[in-house]
Structure 1
């Protein structure tokens, strides 16, 4: 019997972390101190920081950093006085979160949990959810939006980084279109095996209907969005956007 794909992904991401994955490098003490002074750049996608006006006043806000371990987003939010909960399934990502917490001595709740399942939180528990690009590792992204809606209080905000699918159709160098959509390794045994062999895990393309209309159908109101590129490679050099970031509010 196959292991659950999310556990497989967490194990693979643990390995990436140990090999120096860029999204597992904790912020420095200097960056944390600068954030305490109100100067910070929080990324949901590779290069463009979240607009400061999206945040409003963070002090005292209950914030869920969803699939956001690694010691990057969580410490920046805590430095603004937010009451932060970090949820991730990768133990290595959470280890880095604890490292920054212990170094800077701020309060944070750290939870190891699977976002493909019911979130381990009560209804209306949070004012804000910060969710960097991570739902490529989840088959049913609509479930993620329903759970985000449930654990946010009325009027709460969801900030999400989203892969728009273009990276999935191109080869590794971004020079040729090689793959048809959708990419679903649970429905395609060859894709599943390739993910294991290449150490890329089970990654899923998601449509705009799943990513954006999915938020709307969960009950959110879309307030704003922006696009971003990979930050490097041919698609980036050609200024082809491969990511979106959205700001949505719970009705």
Structure 2
């Protein structure tokens, strides 16, 4: 594909992630049967960012019967845990192999899940106030505009509903692959900056975008959310990680009741 636009870059990303999964991508490796059984017994953890588990206080004390949306959350990692804890789960993702992993785990463990293929840069295909909780691991670095997504998340949550989000803070996009030199300006936007597009390998990287604190966190506030808690995280490897330089945020926000 030579002419990449706002209308088709999601397809580039889906093909890239399918390729990563074919090579055993960490974030596309489904939960094992043993891990699912552990979750049923109360032994579990989930990640919004690469290394730090989400604090238990961020979850409702009882997930039984709650409607949970895994937003760009395919791969069979988090939704099986929510299902093991009694939630009624929907997963929304655009990458076929990520959704296939969700289907495989659900069939293996015998629970029901609604699987929806869709592009989160577009209006979400869900009713107002449909969900109690949205779980959104780091993934909106693959869409150009995030503020419309926060407005959609606010719309589809019930009053008092929770948005748990992992966010790339954009810092890493300024560096070369070795994370030793600053080589790119910010914001990183390949659709607007030819130098940024030239820096990407479409097969290995897909199309990615940096987003600011104003887009990521202020954008949630502008959409009507109240921020409850947050933390920072690193890649988990590489020079920036070794220097303890955070490259991710996680946020816990609620829709006012």
Task: Tell me if TM exceeds 0.5.
Answer: yes
Match of 1:42 in 2: 46
Q: Which residue of 1 aligns with 2:101?
A: 96
Deviation per CA, 1:57-77, whole angstroms, max 9, x where unpaired? 211110000000000011111
Deviations 1:156-177 (A, max 9, x none): 0000000011111112122222
**1:118 positional shift:** 0.7
1:246 to 228, 243, 251: 251
Aligned to 2:178: 173
Looking at structure 1, the residues matched to 198 and 126 of structure 2 have their Cα atoms a distance apart, in angstroms, of: 34
Q: For 1:194 and 1:9, how far apart are their aligned partners in 2?
A: 15
Give the aligned CA root-mean-square deviation in angstroms: 1.2
The Cα shift of 1:198 comes to: 5.7
Map of 1:13 onto structure 2 = 17
The TM-score, its normalising length taken from structure 1, stands at 0.97
Does residue 146 of structure 2 align to residue 141 of structure 1?
yes
1:66-112 per-position Cα deviation (integer Å, ceiling 9, x unaligned): 00000001111111000000000000100111111111111111110
What's the CA shift for 1:244?
0.5
Deviation at 1:189, TM superposition (A): 2.7
**Separation of aligned partners in 1, 2:235 and 2:150:** 24
Distance in 2 (CA, whole Å) between partners of 1:24 and 1:88 is 12
State whether residues 4 and 191 of structure 2, in contact with CA within 8 Å, keep that contact through their aligned partners in structure 1: no
TM-aligned CA deviation for residue 119 of structure 1: 0.5
Provide TM-score, normalisation by structure 2.
0.95
Paired residue for 1:25? 29
Moved over 6 A (4+): none
Counterpart of 2:194 in structure 1 is: 189
- Structure 1 CA distance, aligned partners of 2:84 and 2:16? 30
Q: Which runs of 5+ in 1 are unaligned?
A: none
Q: May I ask how many residue pairs the two structures share in their alignment?
A: 251
Query: Does the C-alpha gap of structure 1 residues 99 and 240 become closer, same or farther in structure 2, counting only changes over 3 Å?
Result: same
Offset from partner CA, 1:104-161 (integer Å, 9 cap, x none): 1111111101000010110000000000000000001001101100110111000000
Cα distance in 1 between the residues matched to 2:103 and 2:181: 41
Aligned partners of 2:11, 2:203: CA distance in 1, in Å? 17
